[in-house]
């Protein structure tokens, strides 16, 4: 399950996952970014996947690469911090981080919400 909520105080899109997620859940995240015109053009995103199992396979990363390319066209910059704590999910997002290289898109892995928020709130 995936829920999205925008924190107007911190100006961060919060994506929370729970249970088991797959390709469709992850695409929902990027579709929301693409379809929502009210988000700021410099979008900061915190994705909390702690305690979540992912059924997505490494050969499906191209699906997300194409979605991110579509999303970034609407934004000046997108910065995504992802929180993970499970072995497979950590390996998957490390692979994602290494393979997804798109101008004005940053994606980093964190284990601590405090450190992730600090990175998101401090412009590079």
pLDDT mean by block of 10 residues, the chain; 124 residues: 93 96 92 95 97 92 92 96 95 92 95 96 74
**pLDDT at position 123, please?**
67
Residue 58 is encoded by which pair of tokens?
A: 């490494």
- Confidence (pLDDT) at 83: 97
- CB contact at 8 A, 17 and 52: yes
Per-residue confidence (pLDDT) for residue 7, from 0 to 100: 95
Q: Look at residue 121 in the predicted model and tell me its pLDDT.
A: 92
Q: Which two tokens stand for residue 63?
A: 């699906």
pLDDT at site 78: 97
User: CB under 8 Å to 42, separation ≥6 — which residues?
Assistant: 75, 76, 77, 79
Retrieve residue 50's tokens: 């702690």
Q: What's the pLDDT at 70? A: 95
pTM passes above 0.85: yes
């Amino acid at each position: 399950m995936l829920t999205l909520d925008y924190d107007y105080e911190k100006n961060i899109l919060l994506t929370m996952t729970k249970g088991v997620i797959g390709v469709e859940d992850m695409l929902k995240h990027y579709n929301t970014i693409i379809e929502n015109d009210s988000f700021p053009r410099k979008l900061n995103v915190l994705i909390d996947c702690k305690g979540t199992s992912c059924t997505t396979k490494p050969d499906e990363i191209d699906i997300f690469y194409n979605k991110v390319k579509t999303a970034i066209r609407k934004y000046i910059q997108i910065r995504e911090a992802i929180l993970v704590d499970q072995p497979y999910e950590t390996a998957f997002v490390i692979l994602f981080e290494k393979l997804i290289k798109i101008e004005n898109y940053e994606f980093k892995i964190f284990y601590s919400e405090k450190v992730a928020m600090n990175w998101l709130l401090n412009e590079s």
